[in-house]
Amino acid sequence: MTSVPEFIIDKSMRLIARYLAAGKLHTVASGTENLPTQGPALIVARHYHHLFDGLTFFAAVQRRFHIVVTLDWVQNRRTKFFMQAINRMARWPMLLRTDALERRGNLQPRLFSTGDVTRYQRRALREAVELLVEGRILVVFPEGYPNVDPTYTPKTEPDQFLPFKPGFLNIHRAAETRLGAKIPILPAGIRYETGKIWQGYLAFGKAIDLAAANNRDELIARLENETKGLSGIAAKLA
């Protein structure tokens, strides 16, 4: 935990986000009335742009929020230590993608060991659950990869949408158990119109009725379809 007051951290991050978006990105948000004004919420969002997605959230969400981020893209130790320090101060849980490390053969710069994957995963789960128990908003990108990334993405089409990885449900279940209360899951769609200044459209859907899903797979499929629809992508009906 950092000794820096939270409102200063949040204000600083919003100023940085505003600076990064200036002259590059304009955000149009809809469905913000679906966001709870207090208490925990898990937002499940489409992942399109490695940087702009986060900036749209800063432009649209007034409450402080936390994003589960990946760290395996860093190229050197300086960037690794800097990103770790920033994310820890912001309380943004950090993960490593096993396939990303295997693809890079990683270990050439030896930034991470194979054992780090499990260590980061356990710490991220613990931190994410704690954030929800504290009544905060947590944002996850279950696809794992964006459509636009400077290092690598498996997506080859502009509207390609990867199947959701189920890890966010582990976070949700553990947090509800700890809290002893229900936590809403909200889908969020993201799409862009490119140009000199990108137009980002961030749309929040209503909280999903978890009781309406018969099983885990059905719940994930529903969240995928809701997120696709909010992103302007035709959803496949099961």
Q: pTM surpassing 0.95?
A: no
Q: How many residues does the chain have?
A: 238
Which of 37, 43, 39, 36 shows the shortest CA–CA distance to 187? 43
CA atoms within 13 A on the CB side of 27: 22
pLDDT tens for 180-207 read 999 999 999 999 999 999 999 999 999 9
Q: What is the pLDDT along the chain (238 residues), one digit of tens a residue?
A: 457 889 999 999 999 999 999 999 999 999 999 999 999 999 999 999 999 999 999 999 999 999 999 998 888 889 999 999 999 999 999 999 988 777 765 444 578 887 899 999 999 999 999 999 999 999 999 999 999 998 889 999 988 999 999 999 999 999 999 999 999 999 999 999 999 999 999 999 999 998 888 899 999 999 999 999 999 986 544 3
The tokens 């402080």 sit on which residue? 64
First to last CA, the chain: 44
Query: Which of 3.40.1130.10, 3.40.50.300, 2.60.120.650, 3.20.20.70 is the CATH number of 6-230?
Result: 3.40.1130.10
The residue extents of the domains of the chain are 6-230
CA atoms within 13 A on the CB side of 161: 22
Which of 27, 53, 58, 61 shows the shortest CA–CA distance to 142? 53
Tell me the one-letter amino acid at 92.
W
Residues sharing a CB contact under 8 Å with residue 70, sequence separation 6 or more, in sequence order: 94, 95, 96, 97, 100, 144
Cα–Cα distance list, 139 to 22, 43, 68, 77 (Å): 23, 5, 6, 27
Distance CA(120)–CA(123), nearest Å, equals 5
